[in-house]
Structure 1
Amino acid sequence: MNVKVINQVIILSIMMLIGVFARKKNIVTKEAVKSFSDFLLNITLPAMLLTSFDYGYSEKMIKNAEDIFICSAIIQIIFIFLSRLFVLNKQDRAKSVLRFSVIFPNSGFMGYPVLEGIFGKIGIFYGAIFNIPYNLFMFSVGAMLYTGKSDMKAVKSAILNPAVIATVIGFLMFVFSIKLPYTLYTAFSTVGSMTTPLSMIIVGTMLAEAKLKDIFSEFLVYYACFLRLILIPVITVIILKIFHVDDLIIQICGIIEAMPAAVVASIFAEKYNADFKLAARIIFMSTIISMFTIPVVTLLLKYII
């Protein structure tokens, strides 16, 4: 499994570097990055999620889906409170960025490709279930970290997100054993298969905008990366082991929590007048370092579990 993970991470890294090259050479413009992101979030990702539920009904999978939904919610709640301890004595504008980066991993752009590479389509199935409470917390509590008050518009947006809608429809189709016609399934599956390369190319284009000198000189960035990439997945595994959660679910949750900081951290920071430059640096550095830490965390999961 470890060799497979390393190979998958290398493949994803190459895709990401293609995005860096394309942006540096202006083959992909800044405006195009926004369009690509919208296309991914609203078209290819929902298509991939919908077709990932194309399984025959299984009591075991239903039970695992219920468990991973609960585990995801518990993990988010624990880290929302625990993250307070990690940002003591930090400047106010940096606190919200650090807490958001610690709590919310990049479970979309990075999480789905890695899960698919390690577990196949079933990884996307369980990852989609994990991301239902994750998205609700990210767009509600995540906004509150920056503003101190709830943003109901953001919560509504999270509930009506195309990826969440596709997950709910796909899960209902799985429960009631409803199959898409061959032509529709093939079309959606083919479009959905664009998600992994497109997501990594988009991440690469974002990394191309960063200034390396500023990133490598800031201690807070390294501190956030340690929390996000090492400490958080370790704590996740320990918590789930204490509750005797199924090994597969522990692996899924552990790997998702080993992802770099969510790209939304920078978007929220800019929107709510926090330190968006720090957020961008954390996203960049954690994404780069995760290429090395994800295989390590996966190897540790193999021996811990």
Structure 2
Amino acid sequence: MIIGQMVVLFALMGLGFLLYRVNILDLNTNSKLTSLVLSVTTPCMVLNSVLCTEKYSDSKTIFTILGIAVITYFITPFIGLFINKLLHVPSNQTGLYVFMTVFSNIGFIGYPIMKAIFGNDSVFHASLFGMVFNIMLFTLGVYLIGIGQQGSNKLNLKNLITPGVICSFLALILYLLHIRAPKIITDFTGMVGDMTTPLAMIIIGVTLGGDEY
């Protein structure tokens, strides 16, 4: 089952690669599709995962996931510093290397893979981790990038107000309160959210097709 799902995902990436090579999609269109996935389809997928929940986990499970996420982003910077020492990274690049250790691509490709392998309910649990990820990315991440670099590394709290963070908070509230939505809303969020997986994989394929070696 899992192997079959992964084959489908790689096939979608291959489709994106092919669409770029035959000039049906270009990098400019790919950039706009990326914005669509990050700002519209993924938030809808997160909301739909809550609105269509059949069986609610207890609050303890939810806060355990949030706690694990917080602990993860507390520990991984120290792991990054340790790796820097092992690799003898120049001091002016320390922040960048720690950033790469701490912050991976868990949102753009993470949600589609979670849904494809573990089903719709897993998306909400992944979004809790993603919510902490985004908060840390635009606070700790901004600080790390600025270490040893010229220019300002001041935090911009406006960056925290993203569709992903907003929908994750909203999904958390809806989940904890066990709020159901009318079918017309779940149908809308479901249809829009279902575009996330194929679009995300096609975007990756186009990006690979556009890389010049």
- Choose the corresponding residue for 1:21, options 18, 22, 36: 18
Aligned to 1:210: 211
Residue 93 of structure 1: CA displacement? 6.2
Q: CA deviation at 1:81?
A: 1.5
Aligned equivalents of 1:45 and 1:105: distance in 2? 17
What letter corresponds to residue 155 of structure 2 in structure 1?
M
Opposite residue 80 of structure 1, the aligned amino acid is P
1:57–1:175 CA contact under 8 A, matched in 2: no
2:4 to 7, 14, 22: 7
100 and 21 in structure 1: CA distance in 2 versus 1, 3 angstrom threshold: farther
Q: Deviations over 1:243-283 (max 9, x none)?
A: xxxxxxxxxxxxxxxxxxxxxxxxxxxxxxxxxxxxxxxxx
What is the one-letter code of the residue matched to 1:205?
Answer: V
How many Å apart are 1:46 and its aligned residue?
1.0
Structure-1 residue corresponding to 2:133: 134
Count of paired positions: 206
Structure 2: unaligned runs, 5 residues or longer: none
2:107 counterpart residue number: 108
In the TM superposition, residue 57 of structure 1 has moved relative to its aligned partner by 7.0
The answer on whether the counterparts of 2:17 and 2:206 sit within 8 Å (CA) in structure 1 is: yes
Cα shift at 1:17? 1.5
Distance 1:15 1:97 in 2: 32
Question: Matched residues in 2 for 1:101 and 1:82: separation?
Answer: 11
Q: For residue 164 of structure 2, what is the aligned residue in structure 1?
A: 163
**CA displacement 1:144-187 (0-9 Å, x = unmatched):** 2221375322x4312x1101111211222222222111112101
| Closer/same/farther in 2, CA of residues 96 and 136 from structure 1, 3 Å limit | same
Distance in 1 (CA, whole Å) between partners of 2:144 and 2:175 is 36
Alignment-derived partner of residue 192 in structure 2: 191
1: CA distance, partners of 2:72 / 2:138: 16
Question: Do the aligned residues in 2 keep the contact of 1:57 with 1:177 (CA within 8 Å)?
Answer: no
**What is the aligned partner in structure 2 of residue 72 from structure 1?**
69
Structure 1 pair 94–17 and aligned structure 2 pair: CA distance change class (3 A): farther
Unaligned runs of 5+ in 1: 213-305
Does the residue aligned with 1:52 lie in a helix, a strand or coil? helix
Output the CA distance in 2 between the equivalents of 1:37 and 1:206.
10
Q: Which has the higher contact order (CA 8 A, sep 6+)?
A: 2
Q: What SS is found at the alignment partner of 2:71?
A: helix
Which letter does structure 1 place at the counterpart of 2:180?
K
Partner of 1:125: 124
| CA–CA distance in structure 2, aligned partners of residues 156 and 61 of structure 1 | 32
Q: What per-residue deviation string (whole Å, max 9, x for no partner) do you get for residues 129-149 of structure 1? A: 111111111122112222137
- Measure the CA separation in 2 of the matches of 1:16 and 1:157: 30
